[in-house]
Structure 1
Amino acid sequence: MKITTVETFVLGERQVLVRIGTDEGLAGWGDASLEHKPGTVVAAIRELSGHLIGADPLPVTAHWQRLTRGGFYRGGGVLSSAVAGLDMALWDIRGRFFDAPVHVLLGGPCRDRVRLYTHAWGPPEHTGNPQRARDLVEAGYTLVKASVAGPVGFLDSPAMTAKFVDDLTALREAVGPGADFGIDLHGRVSVHHARRLADAVAHTAPAFLEEPLRPEHSRLIGRLTAATSVPIATGERLFSREEFVPVLEGGIAIAQPDPAHAGGITEVFRIATMAESYDVQLAPHCPLGPVALAACVQLDLAVPNFYAQEHIIDLSSAASEDLAILRNPEVLVAVNGHIERPTGPGLGIEIDEDAVRAAHQPDLLMPTGNPQWRYADGGFAEW
């Protein structure tokens, strides 16, 4: 069996799919989305595809080595996302060849279902929406998440801290003592103000404070973990085992690599294994589409130290528009806040190829991008 084609499909600013075809008719799909950088990642995949055309798709780890280290310059969000999409597609082919789900090839399931969490989106200037949080818990979710209202100053005002405390108190009241909420600080907060916020909200018992620091300040995270009892989570903007070393040694509780960014299934499985040695659990980052989520679910089932799986797409029913590119959308429908273990081969999903080709946007060259925030004095503020 030989690889004959590597194709990319841009479905939006947060959805770039990869299809690897073979001369025996087997094909695999992956998600190489790097938010708001579709054209850049597509170009990287095109350049990397020369390592794959004409090759046997089955030795996935050997391909990962060549894709990741075959160029003198490597790493970073763009190249790691391109490798991730190709890696997922290769695992999908491997699973289909052996007629087994990826999690079975990784050692078999460690659980029967995958715990989900999603976002309790807040109105402007609020951290979370208590009513949405309550609705999610009533639907079976045992964990929800909200993002801190921003922008946040380097050492923000007492009024900001008081508002943050009020919002988290309302979230705790909404979900009750039998469920959890995490708070995403989104890299908006300095290490100094993060300690202040952690102290102020510890009584509300958040499940975690996520990404309190920008990724370039990862080496400083131990200053925060040592100063609070609130668990710290991070990792969505870290792309390799090596980049996770400082935060693992710094005492985080939850690692959040994104399989669509951090080198795919191959690398995230190894990150999870390394994290287990630090008593750290895995909660893969996934603000993307169903292919990325399916890859996450395969990892979630295979690793012992799994915590919870993020999603932002609508998983309430098989009729969800967010699942429209699947021929078997029911496998990703949430049941009491969980996804039941998929048993189909590869990633466990079947792609409607005609729907993907029809949705492709080849001219999406000027994406909208992130919101651009400024402080009152006009200076740049982290979104």
Structure 2
Amino acid sequence: MKITRLTTYLVPPRWCFLRIDTDTGVIGWGEPIVEGRAHTVAAAVEELSDYLIGKDPRHIEDLWNVMYRGGFYRGGPVLMSAIAGIDQALWDIKGKDLGQPVHQLLGGPVRDRIRVYSWIGGDRPADTARAAKEAVARGFTAVKMNATEELQYVDTYAKVEQVIENVQAIREAVGPHIGIGLDFHGRVHKPMAKVLMRELEPFKLMFIEEPVLSDHLEALPELASISPAPIALGERLYTRYDFKRVLQIGGVDIIQPDPSHSGGITETRKIAAMAEAYDVALALHCPLGPIALAANLQLDAVCHNAFIQEQSLGIHYNAANDLLDYVKDRSVFAYNEGFVAIPNGPGLGISVNEEYVAERAAVGHRWRNPIWRHEDGSVAEW
């Protein structure tokens, strides 16, 4: 079996899909994407195709190392996301060729379903509380929200009170036993993270995500000592070497690699195993499309320390298209009582609606994240 072609499709709302063809007719799908840099990643996939055309797609570990090590420069969001989508597609091909789901090829499942959470949003506490209640009504047992808008290095207690009002409204709306993840999104600098963490203690949060940017790992032990909840981060880390530093420094309770950014299934499983050795939990990052979610679930099936999965159904980014629009069988992601089942079909376990992908790729997208500024005119973290 030989690889004959790699084709990328930029599809709404902000995704990039990859199809890999082989000379036997077996095809694989992956999702190589950096949100807001989709064209750049697609170009990186095209460049990597020089290493892949004519090669056996079943030699996944070797091809991964060629892509990672063969170009001299390595790591970072663009290269690792391009490798990630290719790796997902190679595993999809291997599973389809053998008639088995990827998780069976990785040693077999340790679970048949995993808990999921729903993103919620809103401009006012009442809006956020309403969104949380609606998510719970749809069967979710956990929700996640952004904690705050832009914050200066040291900001006002009015901003702090706004965060507290939002979280309090959600907790009162959903009761004491629904999980609430609060995402600081790297918008908060260490001085304000310390203030917020102390104020959030009463609300029994499930976790606090990215309390500071991953650039500031040295701050994590100090923040962990005052945090009222487990600390999670990792969506902006891309290799096992990035996560090695996180685990050595300490302070993190949950890692959140994204298998569409962190080198695909091959690399992310190694990251997860390394975290397990440090007794750190896994909550894979995935505000993306159905191919990415399918890849995540194959990993969740085999990673013992996985406890919850992000997914994008109904997320605010998905205005033009939503998670299930690009799959033939919408029931493949079987949501029930706050869990989603692990797909058991061959490969990644989903069938992509290729005609619809081609149709929407003709529309394409140029999604960009917002650019925020502080009141003084300086650029703020988004």
TM-score (norm 2): 0.94
Query: Equivalent residue for 1:371?
Result: 370
Residue 362 (structure 1) shift: 7.8
What letter corresponds to residue 262 of structure 1 in structure 2?
S
What letter corresponds to residue 76 of structure 1 in structure 2?
G
Query: Equivalent residue for 2:325?
Result: 324
CA distance in 2, matches of 1:296, 1:101: 13
CA distance in 2, matches of 1:327, 1:75: 34
**Equivalent runs, 1:260-339 vs 2, <5 Å:** 260-314=260-314, 321-339=322-340
Change (3 A) 1:142 1:13: closer
Query: Equivalent residue for 2:109?
Result: 109
CA distance in 2, matches of 1:274, 1:128: 40
CA distance in 2, matches of 1:158, 1:27: 55
Q: Is the 8 A contact 2:12 2:364 kept in 1?
A: no
Query: Equivalent residue for 1:86?
Result: 86
Q: Deviations over 1:191-232 (max 9, x none)?
A: 121111111111111111101111221232222112324210
CA distance in 2, matches of 1:169, 1:378: 31
**Equivalent runs, 1:230-245 vs 2, <5 Å:** 230-245=229-244
Query: Equivalent residue for 1:30?
Result: 30
CA distance in 2, matches of 1:130, 1:273: 37
Q: Deviations over 1:163-187 (max 9, x none)?
A: 2222211211122122110000000
The alignment covers a number of residue pairs equal to: 376
Query: Equivalent residue for 2:245?
Result: 246
Q: Is the 8 A contact 1:288 1:313 kept in 2?
A: no
Change (3 A) 1:321 1:169: closer
Report % sequence identity. 43
Query: Equivalent residue for 2:159?
Result: 160
CA distance in 2, matches of 1:122, 1:362: 28
Q: Is the 8 A contact 2:205 2:228 kept in 1?
A: no
Q: Deviations over 1:248-269 (max 9, x none)?
A: 2322111111111110011111
CA distance in 1, matches of 2:118, 2:52: 36
Residue 363 (structure 1) shift: 6.8
3-state secondary structure, aligned to 2:326 = coil
Long gaps (5+) in structure 1:
none
Q: Deviations over 1:34-90 (max 9, x none)?
A: 101111111100100111110111111111111111101111100011000000000
Change (3 A) 1:41 1:154: same
CA distance in 1, matches of 2:80, 2:126: 31
What letter corresponds to residue 330 of structure 1 in structure 2?
S
Q: Is the 8 A contact 1:91 1:346 kept in 2?
A: yes
Change (3 A) 1:216 1:275: same
CA distance in 1, matches of 2:364, 2:208: 38
3-state secondary structure, aligned to 1:117 = strand
CA distance in 1, matches of 2:325, 2:37: 23
Q: Is the 8 A contact 2:204 2:228 kept in 1?
A: no
CA distance in 1, matches of 2:111, 2:378: 48
Residue 127 (structure 1) shift: 9.9
Residue 333 (structure 1) shift: 3.9
3-state secondary structure, aligned to 1:122 = coil
